[in-house]
C-alpha cells in the first residue's frame, strides 16, 4: 500500500543525521559543500545536499550542476512563496487523475511514482502562476518518494499509463518550455532522485 504524501509538506519528513550516511557519502557531501561554497551556489539544506551527492555517486561536478539548477528554479519561480493550499487545490482539480500514486510503502522499502499520461493536457496550464503550481506539485511528488536518505539511495520506480498520448501533438509550445526551463535537453536532473527498474 502506498502512502500518498504529495499534497502534504513532505519536506518536513526529510532529515539527515550523520549516522544515516556512510563514510564515503560524508566525503561526497563535504566535497560538494566545498565546491558549492567556491562556486557561490546556495546549498538548499543538508538533506538535499546529501541527496545530490548520493545520486551523483560522488561526481562533484555533476552534483553541483544539478544543485545549481535546482536553486535557479527556486529563485526564478519563488516556490516557497506559493500558498500550499492554493497549489494543492489547483493540482487536485486540474491533474488529479494524472498522478496515480506517489510516496513510499509503509515499510519504507520501495518508492514509486505512477502516472496516467492520457489524462495529462498541457493546455490546462494557462498562466505563469499555474506553471508554478504544476512545478511545485512535481516537487512535492519527488519529496514524497524520497523522504529518507535510504529512499534516495534505493531510487524510485516510475510507472506510466501511456495509451492515447503524444506530447508533441498535444502542445509543442509546452514541450519547448519543459526543455528550456527544466533543462531536459541537457541534464534533466534538477531534483536529486534516481530511477530504478520496477521490481
Closest-CA residue to 129 (of 99, 98, 94, 171): 94
Indicate whether 161 pLDDT > 90: no
CA distances from 162 to 36, 96, 152, 173 (A): 39, 16, 26, 20
pLDDT in tens, 96-115: 777 776 666 655 556 677 77
Indicate whether 186 pLDDT > 70: no
Higher pLDDT: 145 or 78? It is 78
pLDDT in tens, 66-102: 999 888 888 888 988 999 889 888 888 887 777 776 6
The position carrying cell 510516496 is 103
Indicate whether 25 pLDDT > 60: yes
Q: Whole-model pTM?
A: 0.73
Amino acid at each position: 500500500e502506498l502512502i500518498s504524501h504529495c499534497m502534504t509538506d513532505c519536506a518536513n519528513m526529510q532529515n539527515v543525521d550523520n549516522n544515516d550516511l556512510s563514510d564515503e557519502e560524508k566525503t561526497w557531501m563535504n566535497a560538494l559543500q566545498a565546491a558549492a561554497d567556491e562556486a557561490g551556489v546556495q546549498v538548499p539544506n543538508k538533506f538535499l545536499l546529501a541527496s545530490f551527492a548520493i545520486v551523483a555517486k560522488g561526481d562533484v561536478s555533476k552534483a553541483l550542476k544539478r544543485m545549481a539548477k535546482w536553486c535557479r528554479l527556486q529563485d526564478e519561480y519563488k516556490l516557497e512563496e506559493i500558498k500550499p493550499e492554493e497549489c494543492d487545490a489547483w493540482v487536485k482539480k486540474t491533474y488529479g487523475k494524472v498522478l496515480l500514486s506517489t510516496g513510499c510503502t509503509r515499510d519504507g522499502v520501495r518508492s514509486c511514482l505512477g502516472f496516467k499520461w492520457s489524462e495529462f493536457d498541457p493546455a490546462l496550464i494557462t498562466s505563469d502562476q499555474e506553471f508554478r503550481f504544476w512545478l511545485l506539485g512535481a516537487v512535492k511528488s519527488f519529496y514524497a518518494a524520497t523522504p529518507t536518505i535510504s529512499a534516495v539511495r534505493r531510487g524510485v520506480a516510475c510507472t506510466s499509463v501511456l495509451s492515447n498520448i503524444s506530447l508533441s501533438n498535444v502542445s509543442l509550445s509546452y514541450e519547448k518550455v519543459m526543455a528550456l526551463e527544466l533543462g531536459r535537453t541537457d541534464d534533466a536532473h534538477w531534483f536529486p532522485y534516481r530511477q530504478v527498474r520496477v521490481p
